[in-house]
């Protein structure tokens, strides 16, 4: 009886600990994607660079960029073992496997005014870039 109680307490502590560890990254991701103006787009040598973190999904989930400018999407991974390391942009026939940790540039040329949508390899994590005129 006593042993059962102790193992229940240990189980609760383990589950609680795992929950605490998982909690912080999720909170960060959420506040990233909710922020209205995320400064993840910059111009370098005439090219527009959109930086997106890939780990357990994409952050920011939505980027706002300029149409008509040569553009690179730079995916950053950091210990990314989930399938957000497999990036797909179906409308451009792009499919790319990112390293578990690193930075990967995908050139997408000059886009027209449109919403460009991408996903992870299995289609469960979306991201989009709103190209505006």
Q: Which residues bind Cu ion (CB under 5 A)?
A: 83, 120, 122, 124
Shortest distance, CB of residue 120 to Cu ion, whole angstroms?
Answer: 3
CB of 121 to Cu ion, least distance (A): 6
Nearer CB in complex with Cu ion: 32/82: 82
Q: Which of 113, 122 has the CB closer to Cu ion? A: 122
Q: How far is the CB of 68 from Cu ion (least distance, A)?
A: 31
Residue 67 or 117: which CB sits closer to Cu ion? Answer: 117
The three-state (H, E, C) secondary structure of the chain, written as one string: CHHHHHHHHHHHHHHHHHHHHHHHHHHHHHHHHHCCCCCCEEEECCEEEEEEEECCCEECCEEEEECCCEEEEEEEECCCCCHHHEEEEHHHCEEEECCCCEEEEEEEEECCCEEEEEEECCCCCEEEEEEEC
């Amino acid at each position: 009886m006593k042993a059962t109680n102790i193992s229940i307490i240990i189980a609760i502590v383990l589950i609680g600990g795992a929950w605490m560890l998982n909690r912080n990254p999720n909170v960060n991701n959420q506040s990233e994607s909710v922020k209205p103006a995320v400064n993840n787009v910059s111009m370098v040598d005439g090219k527009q660079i959109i930086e997106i973190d890939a780990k357990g999904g994409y952050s920011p989930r939505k980027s706002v960029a300029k149409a008509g400018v040569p553009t690179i999407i730079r995916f950053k991974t950091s210990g990314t073992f989930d399938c957000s390391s497999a990036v797909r942009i179906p409308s451009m026939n792009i499919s790319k496997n990112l390293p578990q940790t690193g930075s990967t540039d995908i050139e997408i040329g000059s886009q027209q005014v449109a919403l460009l949508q991408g996903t992870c390899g299995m289609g469960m994590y979306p991201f989009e870039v709103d190209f505006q005129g």
